[in-house]
Amino acid sequence: MGSETKVYTLAQVSEHNHSKDCWLIIGGKVYDVTKFLEDHPGGDEVLLSATGKDATDDFEDVGHSTSARAMMDEFYVGEVDASTIPSKTKYTPPKQPHYNQDKTSEFVIKLLQFLVPLIILGVAVGIRFYTKSSA
């Protein structure tokens, strides 16, 4: 008789989240990496920060070697029940406020309220200066 594969929930795997007892989920499989923490080339903090979640993306993003992947077999303890892992939420950017045409006209009005008196003042000073110099 072959040995049956143990199946763990995310909650069960999440309990193993410290340096004396560290389990990771990678590719739907559960690994007890406790003995490997001090030998991990990236340091133990990297592994400890990947506990309590599906660490597949973290593992793949680093680009582990073939020998690193082969080494994983000795840490294998079972499978994770995929239904207990929350589905990945796709990033949706925050909604941008709609461009409001009215704000543009408000801005133009304020600008004109400021510029028109300046233009009138400029013209008045110009006329005054022009009439004084020609007299």
pLDDT, tens digit, for every residue of 68-87?
999 999 999 999 999 998 87
On whether residue 118 sits in a domain, the answer given is yes
Give the CATH number for residue 76: 3.10.120.10
On whether residue 89 sits in a domain, the answer given is no
3-state secondary structure the chain: CCCCCCEECHHHHHCCEECCEEEEEECCEEEECHHHHHHCCCCHHHHHHCCCCECHHHHHHHCCCHHHHHHHHHHEEEEECHHHCCCCCCCCCCCCCCCCHHHHHHHHHHHHHHHHHHHHHHHHHHHHHHHHHHC
Same domain, residue pair 44 and 77: yes
Domain range holding 114?
A: 99-135
Number of domains in the chain: 2
Is the pTM of the predicted complex or chain greater than 0.85?
no
On whether residue 41 sits in a domain, the answer given is yes
**Residues in the chain where the model's pLDDT stays below 70:** 1-3, 88-91, 93, 96-104, 134-135
Same domain, residue pair 45 and 72: yes
pLDDT digits (tens, 9 = 90+) for 20-37: 999 999 999 999 999 999
Same domain, residue pair 59 and 110: no
What is residue 23's predicted lDDT score, i.e. its pLDDT? Answer: 97
What is residue 105's predicted lDDT score, i.e. its pLDDT? Answer: 74
